[in-house]
Each structure stands twice: as structure tokens, then as C-alpha cells.
Structure 1
Amino acid sequence: MGVEIIYHPLRSVKGMWVPDRNLILIRPKMRSFVERSVLAHEIVHAEYGDPAGHSAKHETRANRIAARRLINPREWAELTRLYTDGDKICQDLGVTRELFEAYLNTGRSAA
């Protein structure tokens, strides 16, 4: 895709798509599951050529697609059958609560 990814000390966000520079900024020193989730989210913004800023429509789409890419439907089904604790499920899936909720709210394994 030709997108550059740079670790940069962001204050108010964990990641940021900078379309005019074809660049994704990622806050350094995050836990690996957070970094993975944030990067997947920002990549969706890059793929869709989203403008700078946070539109609810673009954020919802980025979360939904990132969640579908990172969460295995079979693993989801197994973990949700075993546990009722969403945080435990997130930990085992290796995703943030935000992506967990996006997956949950979009019909789970629907394409």
C-alpha cells in the first residue's frame, strides 16, 4: 500500500491516519494486543482513503473491518461459550475491548 508507519509519542490517541502524508502514526510502548488492534484499525482508514479526522461512519467501519480481520469466528464461538467475562475473551483473542464490541455489534462472523 505504500503507507509508512512511524512510532510517535501521541498524547490523546493511540494511532492516527495522516492521509496527506500516506502515514500511520502509532503511540510507542503499548501492549502488543493494543498495538495490533490500533494498527489494524488505522490500516482500514488507509485502505479506504479516509480523510483526516474522526467521522463516526469511518470509525465504525474501521473498527468493524479490523475486528473481522483479527478475530477468528471459531475461536470467538469457543471463548464466548466458555466465558462470560468480556475482558477475558478479549485477552484470549488478543484484541481491545473496542474491537471486541465492534465484532459483537456487527453480527459477529458476518462478512
Structure 2
Amino acid sequence: MTPIDQRLLDFADALGVRIEYRELPTDRDGQYVHAKRVICLRPGMHARHHRSVLAHELAHALWGDIPSKFGPVNAKQERRAEEWAALRLIDLDTYRYLERVHHGRAAGIAVELGVMKSIVLAYQGLLLRVGDTTYVDARMGAGQWHERIEVA
């Protein structure tokens, strides 16, 4: 178990969320059931898949997401969960190095980071490059960003 895996398990404990392994529908690798405060994961996933799915489902638990019949609500919840997971699973300095090594290709970066490609794509979507500055998770307003890096 890696330190990041332990942090994810500690976060689940802090939220009061149980993790169970059970067979799920073929189109699902994990799901969060808010009424029971449980994350269900498909057994047998390889480590980087398991890590990525667990982080994604922890995000749903953090916000108390409940599936909606309204598609745009579900899409927003899924995007937010993937972005939250990306910010927890990817270290900026390591990402910067791997981005150069793999010429920005998400698949190669994902393998080396031990996460799924969708997590890297979500992280890349959070990057905003303006001139010689890169902002991570930029928001509207002065000083509202997760990290800021001068690259000149």
C-alpha cells in the first residue's frame, strides 16, 4: 500500500464512510450510497484503477452526492469528483516532469503516476496557462487558484 492509498483510507475514516467490495453492474467500477455512507468497489481492480475509483467515490462522499434524474446535475457531480480526485492524486512537480517526458500524453503520464488516464485528463483540464504562468484550478477573482507557477 502506498502513502497515497493510506491517505485515501484515512480520509474515508474521517468522513465516516465504509468501503465494501462487491459485484457491481458491468458499467460501474464503484459507487457511493449516501443513505448508507458506504462506497462500493468492484473487487479485483488493479492498483491504479482502484486508487482512481476510490478517490473519485470519496469526492462523492465529501459532497454527499445523490444521483439525479436530471442529466446535467449528474454530469456536474461526475466532473467535480474527477477533478477533486485529480487534485489529491497528482503532485504538481511530478506532473510537470512527466508532462515533459511524455510530451503531454495523458496515457503515459497516468501509468507513471499510478492513476487512470481520466484522472490525468481531469488534471490537465484544471490547468490554465497565461503567458509565462500556469495556474492550477483557477477560479474567477484575484488570488483564487490552487497553485501558481512561473515558467519563464
TM-score band (shorter)? Answer: over 0.9
Question: 1:86 Cα shift?
Answer: 2.4
In the alignment, is residue 91 of structure 1 matched against residue 105 of structure 2?
no
CA RMSD, 1 decimal:
1.4
What are the ranges of 5 or more consecutive residues in structure 1 without an aligned counterpart? none
Larger Rg: 2
Specify the alignment match of 1:46 in structure 2: 61
The answer (yes or no) to whether the contact 2:22–2:43 under 8 Å persists in 1 is yes
Range with bigger deviation, 41-50 or 86-95: 86-95
What are the ranges of 5 or more consecutive residues in structure 2 without an aligned counterpart? 1-14, 129-135, 138-145, 147-152
Specify the alignment match of 1:33 in structure 2: 48
Question: 1:9 Cα shift?
Answer: 1.1
Count of paired positions: 111
State how far apart, in whole Å, the 2-side matches of 1:60 and 1:98 are.
Answer: 10
In the alignment, is residue 56 of structure 1 matched against residue 75 of structure 2?
yes
2:99 alignment partner AA: T
State how far apart, in whole Å, the 2-side matches of 1:106 and 1:31 are.
Answer: 26
Specify the alignment match of 1:106 in structure 2: 126
Specify the alignment match of 2:87 in structure 1: 68
- Secondary structure, counterpart of 1:30 in structure 2: coil
State how far apart, in whole Å, the 1-side matches of 2:67 and 2:19 are.
Answer: 16
Cα distance per residue 1:55-99 (max 9 Å; x no partner):
000100000010010000000000011113422211001111111
